[in-house]
Amino acid sequence: MQDTIPDGTVAIIDGVRRIHYDGYWLKAYEPPADTLDAKKRLIQALTRRLFNHVEHGINIPGKRLDDARRAYEAEDDPARKRVKGAMYAGAMFNRATDIFTKLVELQELGIEIATDNPLMRECGGCLQEALKLGRLVLHRSGDEGIDELWGEPFRAFSIPVEAFYESRYIKIAQALRAVDRIAAVMAATFATTPLFRGVEPLVFDFARIAKIKCETLRTDPDIFDVWAEFVTASERLAALVPALGPAADESTRQLATDGLHLILQGRNLVTDIIRARVTMPKSAREFIERCETFAARAQAASHPPLAGADVGATRA
């Protein structure tokens, strides 16, 4: 049974080295050596990744940290203070990356950098402060924050590289489970109406390749085939045409329009999850609620009340 396999188990499956977490066999990669240079490269990559997934305008250079702090502290309007706090967090992250980069350059010149070096402590402090402010930052979709991404650079700074990679496998497995749940809900939702007959295989094929994309690093040679297959599966799902007959009434046409919009929302949510490699519980919960509402509408449309029936009558 799969649930008896211990997390962290490594096996060769179909010629691919994989590691087991939370019921999923994930593609495994060798972590880099645990050196300051490796940590520098990892933190730089995580910082770029972070800014790629969060709202625009918060990638403030570290040299403007004091300006960002003053702007944040002086702001009284709650909405503007949230945005300025996000900008302050971005400046904090960039300051930490700047410090770490210079420390590694000094090390490369033969200067030993101890873990209790004042600049190392300042770097850690910047990352910790940015993590606290990360709750103010929204995902690029605007639906919710993704706190996990804000914590990754600090973890990469504070724990061994191998341990950091292990924590990422856990998050990827959680993301795959979220994709499976969303795909199952989408398939069940649109199975309630003949308007979208045939959507289930498109949804499951999209989810299948989305999960492969989630576990595949950008540096993997397979990424060219994986990304191309993911994009084309996404396009096929978006190109679905409802089975509307020429005699369809206005309510049926509106149901078809709303269904297509919901399919696109599900596709976009899965895309956001697998690109960020984190779960998005608030967005997923709200999407599932919209699916439940749509399924109830579709069910009512396929079983309209009998003509002349007293829908308000109660049993004696």
Residue 58 has pLDDT above 90, yes or no: no
**How confident is the model at residue 257, as a pLDDT?**
93
Residue 140 has pLDDT above 80, yes or no: no
d(CA 168, CA 47): 15
**How confident is the model at residue 180, as a pLDDT?**
97
Judge contact between 139 and 276, C-beta under 8 A: yes
Bigger pLDDT: 292 vs 103 = 292
Sign (positive or negative) of CA dihedral 191, 195, 197, 201: negative
**How confident is the model at residue 232, as a pLDDT?**
97
**How confident is the model at residue 1, as a pLDDT?**
43
pTM flag (> 0.85): no
**How confident is the model at residue 70, as a pLDDT?**
95
Residue 54's beta-bridge partner residues? 139
Bigger pLDDT: 218 vs 153 = 218
Which position has the token pair 């949230």? Answer: 82
d(CA 87, CA 99): 19
Residue 11 DSSP SS3: strand
Q: Where are the alpha helices (DSSP H) in the chain?
A: 36-53, 65-74, 78-108, 118-133, 147-158, 161-190, 199-215, 223-238, 250-276, 281-302
Give the up-direction half-sphere exposure of residue 291: CA atoms within 13 A in the CB hemisphere: 23
pLDDT band at 131 (very low <50, low <70, confident <90, very high): confident
Bigger pLDDT: 302 vs 123 = 123
The average pLDDT across 169-177 equals 94
Residue 306 has pLDDT above 50, yes or no: no
CA 299 to chain centre: 32
**How confident is the model at residue 147, as a pLDDT?**
64
Residue 25's beta-bridge partner residues? 20
DSSP 213-279: HHHS-TTSTTHHHHHHHHHHHHHHHHT------TT--HHHHHHHHHHHHHHHHHHHHHHHHHHHTS-
